[in-house]
Structure 1
C-alpha cells in the first residue's frame, strides 16, 4: 500500500486545509484519519497554483459537499500516477496522449523541472475546464459576498456615487437589460475622468463618470452596460479572479473566506483583461440583451468607433482593456446586419441633463 501526503480542503476543516496521509485501496481513494473513502470514478483531477505545479483531486461527498486534495510534492504526485486506479489513470492517460508521449511523461517525473513542464502541458489542455469547475463551486451568495467585500475597499477610496440622476438613469437601463437574471445587480458611478467601466463578481457594475461624459447618448451607455453585464452572467470576472489568485486562495473563497481574495481583486480593477473569447462572448450576448430589451443596439458600434479614433496617448482604459477593436467593430456590424431589430428604439432620457448631474461635477471639473 503506497501512502502519499496531501492537504485536504473541505467543510469543517481549517481554511489552510489539513495535512493527511492518503492511499488507494482497490478502486477507492482512502483517507483513514478522516474516515473518508471515495470511489475514484467520482474523482476528477486538475492542475493549479501560481506556478501551475500543484496537483489536485476533487470530489463530492454523498451529501453534496465539495472536497479537494492537494498533493504535497513531486514524490507524492509520482506515487499517485504510479498507483492510481483505472478511473483516475485514464484521466492521466488522456493528458499524456494530448501533450506528450507516455514514456516521456512518466520518465520525466524524476526531476522538478520536468514536473513543471508536464504541469504546464496539462494546463494548456485542461486549464479552462479547471477554472470553470472551481468557479462553479462558488455559490451566487458567496460570489455576491466577494463583490461586496471588494466594493467596500473601493468605497474606502471615496468618489463613489450611489444616488442622483445619473445613477437613476443607469439603474433604469440596467433593469431593462437584466430582467429574470439570477443576480441582484447594483449600479454605481465612480467619479473618475478615465473612460472605463468594470464589473465585480456577484452583479456589481461600476461606470466611470468619464465614460458618461464621453457617450453621446444613452444608447451608447446601454451598450457598455450590456457588455459588462455579460461578464457577470458568464462569470468572467469570477474566473479572472481565480486566474489571479491561484487555486489555494480561490479554494478559500469556495470554503467561505473572501478576505484572501479581496485585496488582489481591488488592485486589479480598471486593468482587468479578459480573453478574446470572453470579449467576443460579451459583445455577442450583450448585443442580444439589447435586442431582447428592445434598445437600439447601434450604440455598441458608434461608441467603439468613437473610442477607436482616440490618439494613442489618450486611449481610453475601456478600450485598452478590450483589444482587437477593429475586429470587434466589424463583428458587431456583421451581427447587426444579419439580425436587424426593427422594433428596437432609442432610449428616451435627457442625456445632457444626465451628463450635467451635480453629483459628477468633481470628476468633470
Structure 2
C-alpha cells in the first residue's frame, strides 16, 4: 500500500511531494522530483497534527527531516506493522484525533449561549465557517498567504526577463477579467522541474519552470494561471482551512480571530503545493478559467489541451502531475464543452513561449 504526503528537511523546509511505503520494518518516502528518505519503524517518532488531527508527522530521532501525510489509512497501516515501539505513539495519535473531533469543551468559549442559538448545528461550525468565508474581509486571505509564504521554504526564484514578461502579460490580461478585486495577484517563477503552479490565499501564485517548459503554447500557460487565480478569487484555500479547523478554533475564527487564521499557515502552504482541492473546487476553477480566458481574448480550449498533454502515460512528469490532479479526462470534457459554447474574439499574446523555452528550458536541470 502506498500513501501520498510531503517531506521537509531541516536544511530545506519547503514541502516536497512524496510517495510513502511501509515495508521491511521501515518507512520509505520517495520524492516525486527524485531522492528518497527512510526511517526504521522502531526508531521513529510520531506526532499528530492539524486541528482535526488528520495529519501525522513522522521523524527520525535526530529530526533531520519530517514526513507528513493526511491519508486516513496511514495510521492503520502503521498499526498493522505491529512494532512495539510505535504502540504508545499510535495510541497518542488516536487520542488526539478523538479529542479534536469532539471539539473543545464549549464552556471554555462561552458557548452556552451559542448552544441555545444553534443547537445541533454547532457541530457543523467548521462547515458553516467555510460556507461563510465570502463574508470575511479579503485582508484575512492576504494575512494567511503572507504567513504561509515562509512555510514554502526557499524557492529558487529565477530572474529571467523573457519569462517575467510573459507571465506579467498573462497576469494583466487575466486579472482584468477574473473578478480579483480585493486580491493582490502576484506571480513568482521558481526553478523546479515539477509541472505545476499553485496559489496561496490572498493572491500569490507560484509558477514552476517545469510548467513553462512543458506547455505547448502561451495560452496553455494562461489557462493554468487562470485556473489558479480562480482558486484565489473563489477563496478555496481559506474554505479548506476552515474545514480543517476544529470546532473550538472555528468558533474563534468566526468571531474574527485573524491570528487564528495565520496559525494555519503551514496547512495553507501544504494544501496549495499539493493541490489539495476537492473535485467540486477544481471544477469551479476550471469553469472560471474558461470564462476568464474568453473575456481576455485567449483560447479557452488551451486549458483542455494542457490537460490532454498531461495525460501522456509514458511521461514521468505527467504521471506526477496526474497523481495530484485526478479526474483529468472528466475535466478535459468539461472544459471542451464550455469552450465550444463560446466563440471568443481572439487577441493573441505578444510574448512567445517557444522563444522563451529555447533559453529557459535548455538551462533547466
Normalised by the shorter chain, which TM-score bucket?
0.5 to 0.7
Distance 1:213 1:202, change over 3 A: same
Aligned to 2:204: 204
TM-score (norm: length of structure 1):
0.62
1:315: how far off? Answer: 3.5
Inter-partner Cα distance in structure 2 for 1:347 and 1:323: 30
Partners of 1:189 and 1:209 within 8 A in 2: yes
Distance 1:270 1:187, change over 3 A: same
Aligned residue number for residue 53 of structure 1 = 102
What is the correspondence of 1:56-67 to structure 2 with a 5 Å cutoff?
none
Counterpart Cα distance in 2 of 1:88 and 1:149: 32
Corresponding residue for residue 181 of structure 1: 180
Cα distance in structure 1, aligned partners of 2:275 and 2:195: 14
The reply on whether 1:352 has 2:354 as its aligned counterpart is yes
Structure 1 partner of 2:192:
192
CA–CA separation in structure 2 for the residues paired with 1:51 and 1:167: 44
Pick the aligned partner of 1:281 from 263, 279, 284: 284
Residue 206 of structure 2 corresponds to residue 243 of structure 1: no
Indicate conservation of the 8 Å contact 1:295/1:344, yes or no: yes
Distance 1:297 1:191 in 2: 27
8 Å Cα contact 1:290-1:296 kept in structure 2 = yes
Q: Structure 1 unaligned runs (5+)?
A: 1-48, 56-69, 96-118
Query: What whole-Å deviation, never above 9, does each CA across 1:106-158 have from its counterpart, x for those lacking one?
Result: xxxxxxxxxxxxx8xx64xx76433122x34642122112212222343x424
Residues 68-114 of structure 1: per-residue CA shift (max 9 Å, x gap): xx6148xx98x879xx65x545xx4xx6xxxxxxxxxxxxxxxxxxx
SS at match of 1:198: strand
Greater Cα shift, 342-351 or 198-207: 342-351
Aligned equivalent of 2:129: 130
Kept in 2, the 8 Å contact 1:270–1:317? The answer is no
**Distance apart, 1:210 and its partner CA:** 0.2
CA displacement at 1:325 relative to structure 2? 0.9
RMSD between aligned residues? 3.2
CA distance 1:199–1:158, change in 2 (3 Å): closer
- Paired residue secondary structure (2:273): coil
Asked if residue 149 in structure 1 is aligned to residue 147 in structure 2, the reply is: yes
CA distance 1:255–1:356, shift in 2 (3 Å): farther
Tell me, yes or no, if the aligned pair for 2:127 and 2:243 is still in contact at 8 Å.
no
The structural deviation recorded for 1:357 is 4.8
2:137 corresponds, among 139, 142, 162, to 139
TM-score with structure 2 setting the length: 0.62
Structure showing greater radius of gyration is: 1
> Across the two proteins, how many residue pairs are aligned to each other?
262
- The equivalent of 1:265 in structure 2 is 268
Residue ranges of structure 2 left out of the alignment (5+ in a row): 1-97
Q: Using the alignment, how far apart are the partners of 1:281 and 1:227 within structure 2?
A: 9
Q: Do the aligned residues in 1 keep the contact of 2:196 with 2:211 (CA within 8 Å)?
A: yes
State the secondary structure of the residue aligned to 1:150. helix
Superposed displacement of residue 342, structure 1: 4.0
SS class of match (2:350): coil
